[in-house]
Structure 1
Amino acid sequence: MATITKQELQDLESIRNVHCISIYMPTHQKGEEVLQQEDAKLLKNHLKEVKLKLEQEPLGKREISELIAPIQELIHDGEFWRHQSNGLALFLTNGIVKKYTLPISFKPFNHVANSLYLTPLLPMFTGDDSFFLLWLQLEKVKLYKKTRYYSSEIQIEDKIPSRMEERVGYDYEQKSLQFRSQQEGHGAAAFHGHGEADRDRKNEIERYFSALDRGLMTLIQNESKPLIIACQDYLFPIYQKVNTYKYLLADHISFDPTETDESKLRELAWKKLSPVFDKERLEKIEIFKKFDGTSRTSSDIEQIIPAAILGKIDSLFIQKNEDIWGIYEPEKDLVRVDKELLPSNVSLLNRAAMKTFLNGGKVYLLEKEDMPNPFSKINALYRY
């Protein structure tokens, strides 16, 4: 799966050419859609639309065919379609072809202009939504750094005891067989009816988790990212007791130890963590509303474009699936708004979004009803 970095995004944003083609589409990893080649058919339809747009330009059929050939070839590339994720972004201009298979589903969209349309990629970069996930079993422990869309494993083998028996120092297998058969399917009720044996077992797990915590802290103690645990229910309160990491989430992912699907884990984690990461966006919206109508905010594209280019925007809110077309003339500091996309103009929303992001501001794509000022397609909160 291809990833895309901020530097790549900056390189794509800097491209200016007479014919820049951007295509976004949802894709599938498995199922009937893959068997029926639905994704390839969707790309074929996109290319038909792109051809119609290019025919409005002073281009001959041969020139158009040569320009779109690298994407045309993908339609019949079975190997390419067998390795898709949730979404596909394609960028094409003379001499440049970029293909990104990404874990974000896009609304089908294509764009032909003198620059690439990159705003749909920004949700992958909005905010620092990274977190740690600890996959916790008595026999195996893994630590991941994740975002909503990406995951990478952090190597911890040399920092922690690899298995519980290394820590508790007794015949682990013999004593744990009966316990494991009791705890399967019982969650937190695993410790019951065995008195002192249960207490001993619980203490052994606690000692093991304490050793894990000490090892993990050598790696993450100076971090401030949330940590979420994926484990069986009965293990979580034991780990909570010995944990020393300040940002441990009070909730956990109830997890079957035989389940190893990392994408499912990331999905479950995000459901629990999204309210945490939404907090910053909601706070920015409240600040905008507080200062709406003052010099701290604007909903006027003619003011926002120069401010975005100069790096004056703290947070930018853009209405999803909408656009404003026009031209910015930096020499005159003039923004011209047009009624439609023309060969000579660009998406002003895309320009504002990319300049804000590349200058360190936050960009949020929102539904109309979630916009701070829903009477405008774009709202800007300026830096202090």
Structure 2
Amino acid sequence: MGKDRNGVFHPGKGKPSGANKEEGLGAQSTPPEKMKEYLEISDKYTTGPDELSPNLRLLHHNRNTSKANTSRGYGTKTSGKPDHTKQQEENGQNRFAGVETASQPTEMPGILTREAFKELGAVSANHCISIYIPTHEYGTAVNEMSDSILFKNKLQEASKKLLEKGMKQPDVDKLLGPAYSWVYDTGFWRNQLQGFAVFLAPDFCRYIKMPAAPPELLIVNTSFQLSPLVPSMLATRDFYLLLLSKHATRLYKYDTAGINEVKVAGLETLSSYEAPDIDNGEHRGVDGYTNSADYLKAIDDIIFREVLNTEKAPLVLAGTEEMVAEYRTVSAYKHLYPEAIIGNHTYDDLQALCRQARNILQPYFDQELDKAKERYANESATRLTSSIVADVVPAAFYGQVDTLFAARDAHSWGTFDEMNNVLKVDDEMNGENDDLVDKAVVKTIANGGRVFILPKEQMPADSPVAALMRY
């Protein structure tokens, strides 16, 4: 557009400025397949029409976009834009690169054995750090490294607590160094289950990828906080999962090591079954199996002979409705669970199938808890039960507790002198006392007792603990 001597603008000659352009404001229509995605983004970053979310961070419009590149000397030379993520990662790694750490991180199984639990319970030091966070196996949270950010915040909070206790910064870095090595490890956070726990002490670092989400928790004390591990380590929750398929039937077992395939001799080489060829008027199978009943009977014979003949754990079936129904008619296993996972699950995620099976079996697993609560009610008027912290804690230390009920997320702070049988209960955590509820849990398991961690409303008594005594 030109301007004459008087300062008046004149449009250039030729086609009008709107020629060959669509009428309107220039906004394009939204593709239907993108509508859900756009709505999710709107919900995430806004709180109402034309109103941004208060936690949304905005960059100043007058910022120097090349400042980081020109003054700090990093970023991409081709674009001139700083690579903040890369620099942040390098800074975090460099901070602990020269820190000497005597302990190497060691992974423990997601479902602990009693012996592994006792190993953690036996650790005692001036500074023991227990961190629990819920994590994600997939989804936006994984892509955005949300779990890593939460874990980093917990480490920073732990660092602050240690400094407040009088620990020097180099010693704090040495203690937390093994855990900080995970913060920027994207591969580590892309390979998680539903929860993550880490236990740090001088010359000690253990971590667990948990199959169930724990409460978000950080405790800095003289021993580890272990109660959140108990719901996942009940030994009575073993089961089998049989994935039925016309071409590749598989048997899996869930136990303290997680869910793993059971290699059954003869199962992999078993001939597959092909539906009859109705169009040609023939009824033929593959390698001699002319009907599904013969094929499924052969599967059951092999599995029962090689694995299940001495087992009592429940077996959950996963397959089409027709195959599941027909397998029930030919199976010789007495502990076949009545409810199944219906559908074609040949290519489904194994962990997802495992969670479905555990949910289906929950009423079966709760039978032991129901019997224990019934026994507590029947014995409630005798000296074989107690819901008083001052009675239950010493009894747990001395091996008197047969079954302990502990309220989830409940704490009772204090100290217990086992040698002199002296219990002191405090109003709050002071850095020198223990969580007496957690100590009762640890000691009961160490002495061979059973523990149930329950929501407060499901406790057999209005107390953070309740116990059935051996004597």
Task: Tell me whether the two structures share a fold, i.e. TM-score over 0.5.
Answer: yes
Pairing of 1:316-355 with structure 2 (within 5 A): 316-355=404-443
- Superposed, 1:34-183 pairs within 5 Å as 34-147=142-255, 150-158=258-266, 162-164=270-272, 176=276
Of 329-338 and 249-258, the range deviating more from structure 2: 249-258
Q: How far 1:56 moved relative to its partner?
A: 3.0
Question: Percent same amino acid at aligned positions?
Answer: 29
Task: Provide the TM-score with structure 1 as the length reference.
Answer: 0.86
The answer (yes or no) to whether the contact 2:211–2:232 under 8 Å persists in 1 is no
SS in 1 for 2:376: helix
Which residue is equivalent to 2:470? 383
Correspondences of 1:234-273 after superposition (within 5 Å): 234-273=322-361
Distance 1:123 1:149, change over 3 A: farther
Q: Give the distance between the partners of 1:24 and 1:257, measured in 2 at CA.
A: 32
Change (3 A) 1:3 1:130: same
Give the structure 1 partner of residue 313 of structure 2: 225
Q: Describe the SS at the equivalent of 2:466.
A: strand
Once the 2 structures are TM-superposed, how far is the Cα of residue 144 of structure 1 from its aligned partner? 0.9
Please identify which structure carries the higher helix content: 1
Kindly tell me the number of residue pairs found equivalent between the two proteins: 358
Q: Tell me what 2:33 maps to.
A: none
Are positions 1:212 and 2:299 aligned together?
yes
> Kindly tell me: are residues 82 and 377 of structure 1, through their superposed partners in 2, closer, same or farther at Cα, counting changes over 3 Å?
same
Alpha-carbon offset, residue 236 of structure 1: 2.0
Aligned pairs for 1:195-206 within 5 A: 204-206=291-293
Q: Aligned in 2, Cα 1:257/1:43: closer, same or farther, shift over 3 Å? A: closer
| 1:251 to partner: Cα distance | 2.4
Compute the RMSD of aligned alpha carbons.
Answer: 2.5
Q: Which amino acid aligns with 1:309?
A: F
User: 1:22 and 2:130 equivalent?
Assistant: yes
Change (3 A) 1:238 1:325: same
Residues 77 and 210 of structure 1: is their aligned pair in 2 closer, same or farther, counting only changes over 3 Å? closer
Whole-Å separation in 1 of the counterparts to 2:329 and 2:172 = 66
More displaced stretch, 13-22 vs 216-225: 216-225
Structure 1 residue 324 displacement after superposition: 0.7
> One-letter code of the match for 2:109?
T
2:124·2:223 contact (CA, 8 Å) conserved in 1? yes
* Counterpart AA for 2:447: N
Q: CA deviation at 1:213?
A: 1.9
Aligned to 1:300: 388
**Distance in 2 between residues matched to 1:42 and 1:120, nearest whole Å:** 18
Counterpart of 1:46 in 2: which secondary structure?
helix
CA–CA distance in 2 between the matches of 1:357 and 1:319?
Answer: 16
Q: Which amino acid in structure 1 is aligned with residue 195 of structure 2?
A: G
TM-score w.r.t. the length of structure 2 is: 0.71
Between 218-227 and 78-87, report the one with greater CA deviation.
78-87
1:206-258 deviations in whole A, cap 9, x for unaligned?
Answer: 22222222211222111111111111111122211111111111222112154
1:25 aligned counterpart, secondary structure = strand
Distance 1:83 1:239 in 2: 35
Q: Deviations over 1:308-333 (max 9, x none)?
A: 22322222111111101111111111
- Cα distance, 1:178–1:110 mapped onto 2, change above 3 Å: farther
Give 1:159 shift.
5.6
Judge conservation of contact 2:289–2:295 (CA < 8 Å) in 1.
no
Distance (Å, rounded) in 1 between the aligned partners of 2:432 and 2:269: 64
Asked which structure has the greater CA Rg, the reply is 2
CA distance in 1, matches of 2:422, 2:381: 22
Q: CA deviation at 1:26?
A: 0.9
Supply the distance in 2 between the matched residues of 1:202 and 1:255 (Cα, whole angstroms). 23
Question: Do 1:318 and 1:377's aligned partners in 2 also have CA atoms closer than 8 Å?
Answer: yes
Does the aligned pair in 1 maintain the 2:397–2:418 contact within 8 Å?
Answer: no
Q: In structure 2, the residue corresponding to 1:221 is in which secondary structure? A: helix
Q: Report matched runs for 1:284-299 at 5 Å.
A: 284-299=372-387
Q: Distance in 2 between matches of 1:44 and 1:11?
A: 26
Name which structure has the greater RCO, CA cutoff 8 Å, separation 6+.
1
- 1:358 is matched with 446
